[in-house]
A and B are shown apart, each in its own frame.
Chain A
Amino acid sequence: MSFLYTNWWIIPLLITSFSGVLCPAMGSVLITHKRLLQVNLISHCVLPGLALAMALGIDPSIGGVFSGLVGAIAAESLTNKKNQNYEAVMNTILAGSMGLGVLLIPLLGIRIDLEAVLFGDLLTANLSDLIRTLIAFSAFISLVFFGYDKLVYIGLDPEGAASSGVNVSSLNLALGLTTALVIVSSMSAVGVILVIALLSTPTLLGLQKARSLWIAMIRSSIFGLLISLLGFSLAMVLNLPPGPLISVLCVISLILIPKNN
């Protein structure tokens, strides 16, 4: 408990809390829109952008968001074409992007702590990680504030929304961009791979009998915050990495889902 006498844990704790609220809220939108596979693709597409940005000497998160957005556009294009094998194609691109990212590290001669990017390294998080998380949080709040009705309509009836004049492509692109921001912002907390657990599990709990997307987002965020704080606290006490511990707690919390679902 010696960490209580220092203040290095305050920023990691704040990042844990914001990611714990933000990821499940975002996950509620993505799961109800049946877009989790696209999210997986975006998360795997982040790594090549991170590597390129580092080689070019710019903020890695900008490169990560950019390549995540390219992944989002690829996912959107594949989904719209409705090719019956699009899931297989998407999974191939997903694996290829990760492979490309790993290859770029030695090819460009840069140093990236791959383990930290993929699985998070909360204890070394700094103020810029917190700012990144707050930017992603603001982007998500803006998306929900200005487009809630349209997000609901697209999730329920995409063709009907389009025929009613809702610009479905633009909104899906905004959703892809926000998703990329959320994934990159969660890099320090749980990593770009383990973020899927924080996007999905609390949402599965929060969606139970929710009467609106808004209620599902609030409930999911509460579950996400509890899981994240518990994971962070246990990691401190047991001296374990918080990201993987939070992911394992997500899996354990699946037992809370009623059996008839």
Chain B
Amino acid sequence: MSSLIAENLTYSYSTNIPPALNKVSLKLEPGSLTALVGPNGAGKSTLLSLLQGINRPDQGEIKVDGSPLINNRCQVALMPQRGKLNWSFPITVEGLVSLGRVNHSKSTCCELEAALQRVGISHLSKRRLDSLSGGQQQRALLAKTLMNPANIFLLDEPCSALDPPAKEDFLIIIRQLADSGLTVFVSSHDWGTSLNAYDKVVVLDKIILASGSPQEVQEKLSSINYLRWKL
């Protein structure tokens, strides 16, 4: 079980444009399922890239279990947006999942099978990736991410291309992961009652607009009339 604390993160892609993130602070509790919501261009993917250590913040710091992220990067794993992958690449589901251990110790068959079972696609292990449905592909990508020896999982818009039933199934899986003690942080375009599936919601639009339980966040945002013009 691991926690992550980010304090006053500021990040700019270039010096002559406004920062993509401005003094963002948040805390991910061990074993929690947290949603990160916000409009397009709000900085959700940027924040995830900072929390995973792909990019370094201009200001602020990130700590995992009390230690700087740089010493604990292996504790954090990122599941990328589906658009970043070359889905026509010739590879089977088990081939994809085993890539989760590249640059770590070699995976065993049991670990691979366990990751596939956790997301409910062990029967698809020999299938080519591009022969799967969108929901099955997302599960395979999650299984690959779970092969990382990490306790904190950042999922970048995992439900963006899924139909409602597939999305519901996916949310059940990530809830089970959080209940098993993993810390899960999910960027999403969800709003309304669908946010009730999460323990906590963080609303981002370059700054943190609201943070708390789904009900608290919705009340706070309706009071500033934010939703009407943004989400």
Chain A residue numbers with a CB within 8 Å of B53 are 163
Chain B residue numbers with a CB within 8 Å of A215 are 90
Contacting B at CB under 8 A, from A193-249, are 207, 209-213, 215-216
Shortest distance between the CB of A24 and any CB in chain B (Å): 14
Given contacts A32-B90, A34-B86, A213-B91, contact A152 B78 (CB under 8 A): no
CA A160 to CA B102, docked complex, whole Å = 11
- Binding site secondary structure of chain A: helix
Shortest distance between the CB of A117 and any CB in chain B (Å): 33
CA A166 to CA B99, docked complex, whole Å = 11
Is A156 a contact partner of B86 (Cβ separation < 8 A)? Answer: yes
Given contacts A164-B103, A212-B91, A212-B92, contact A155 B86 (CB under 8 A): yes
CA A46 to CA B98, docked complex, whole Å = 38
Is B103 a contact partner of A163 (Cβ separation < 8 A)? Answer: no
CA A63 to CA B54, docked complex, whole Å = 38
Whether B128 is near chain A, meaning CB under 8 Å from some CB there, is yes
CA A166 to CA B102, docked complex, whole Å = 8
Whether B84 is near chain A, meaning CB under 8 Å from some CB there, is yes
Given contacts A153-B99, A156-B99, A160-B80, contact A212 B52 (CB under 8 A): no
Pick the residue among B84, B95, B128 that contacts A160 (CB under 8 A). Answer: B84
Whether B96 is near chain A, meaning CB under 8 Å from some CB there, is yes
Among B86, B89, B95, B128, chain A packs the most CB atoms within 10 A around the CB of B89
Could you mark each residue 152-171 of chain A with 1 if its beta carbon is under 8 Å from any beta carbon of chain B, else 0? 11011101111111100000
- Binding site secondary structure of chain B: loop
CA A162 to CA B89, docked complex, whole Å = 18
Shortest distance between the CB of B184 and any CB in chain A (Å): 18
Whether A132 is near chain B, meaning CB under 8 Å from some CB there, is no
Chain A residue numbers with a CB within 8 Å of B78 are 160, 163
Shortest distance between the CB of A128 and any CB in chain B (Å): 36
Given contacts A156-B85, A156-B96, A212-B95, contact A164 B90 (CB under 8 A): no
Among A163, A207, A212, chain B packs the most CB atoms within 10 A around the CB of A163
- Chain A residues with a Cβ closer than 8 Å to the other chain, count: 25
Pick the residue among A32, A149, A160 that contacts B89 (CB under 8 A). Answer: A32
Chain A residue numbers with a CB within 8 Å of B99 are 149, 152-153, 156-157
Is B89 a contact partner of A156 (Cβ separation < 8 A)? Answer: yes
Chain A residue numbers with a CB within 8 Å of B84 are 157, 159-160
Is A157 a contact partner of B92 (Cβ separation < 8 A)? Answer: no
With CB as the reference atom, state the residue of chain A lying closest to B106. A149
Sample 30 A-B pairs with CB under 8 A, ordered by A number.
A32-B89, A149-B99, A150-B102, A152-B89, A153-B102, A155-B86, A155-B89, A156-B99, A157-B80, A157-B86, A157-B99, A159-B54, A160-B78, A160-B84, A160-B85, A163-B52, A163-B53, A163-B54, A164-B103, A207-B90, A209-B128, A210-B90, A211-B90, A211-B91, A211-B95, A211-B126, A212-B90, A212-B91, A213-B90, A216-B90
- Please provide the 4 A-B residue pairs with the shortest distance between their CB atoms, ordered closest to farther: A210-B90, A165-B103, A156-B89, A163-B54
A153-B99, A212-B90 given; name 15 further pairs at CB < 8 Å.
A32-B90, A149-B99, A149-B102, A155-B89, A159-B80, A160-B84, A161-B102, A162-B54, A164-B102, A165-B103, A210-B90, A211-B91, A211-B126, A213-B89, A215-B90
